[in-house]
Amino acid sequence: MTAAPIPEAVNTLRAGLPDRYLTPEDISVTFVVPVETVYYWRKRRIGPPGFRVGKHLRYDPAAVRAWAREQEGRDLDEAA
């Protein structure tokens, strides 16, 4: 029987990285928009910040949450 990893050691090895980065399809499902819209946002630099891993586009969940909060703030400012 092997011992479970020590949480502090796991956090140190991950260096604060999320367990899983999001894909464009994940973003599409989260915001209920077509995946083409996610790529359009990326092209126009108006969507959540993403990055490439080789040929694959990925999003940090924390950055996506921050972007969504920013959008909510903009909507509230415009409504006032």
Which residue in this structure is represented by tokens 């502090």? 8
Query: Which of 4 and 75 is assigned the larger pLDDT?
Result: 75
Range of the domain at 24: 19-79
Helices 35-44 and 24-31: crossing angle in degrees, nearest 10, is 110
**Predicted confidence (pLDDT) at residue 28 exceeds the cutoff of 80:** yes
- pLDDT attached to residue 16: 67
Strand 56-59 to 50-53 pairing: antiparallel
Residue 38 makes CB contacts below 8 A (sequence gap 6+) with 24, 27, 28, 31, 47
In a domain, 6, yes or no: no
Count of structural domains, the chain: 1
Q: What is the CATH number of the domain that holds 47?
A: 1.10.10
* Mean pLDDT (the chain, rounded): 85
Q: Phi, psi at residue 5, to the nearest 5°?
A: -60, 145
In a domain, 1, yes or no: no
In a domain, 62, yes or no: yes
Residue 57 confidence class, pLDDT cut points 50, 70, 90? very high
| Span 59-77, average pLDDT | 89
Does the model's pTM come out above 0.95? no
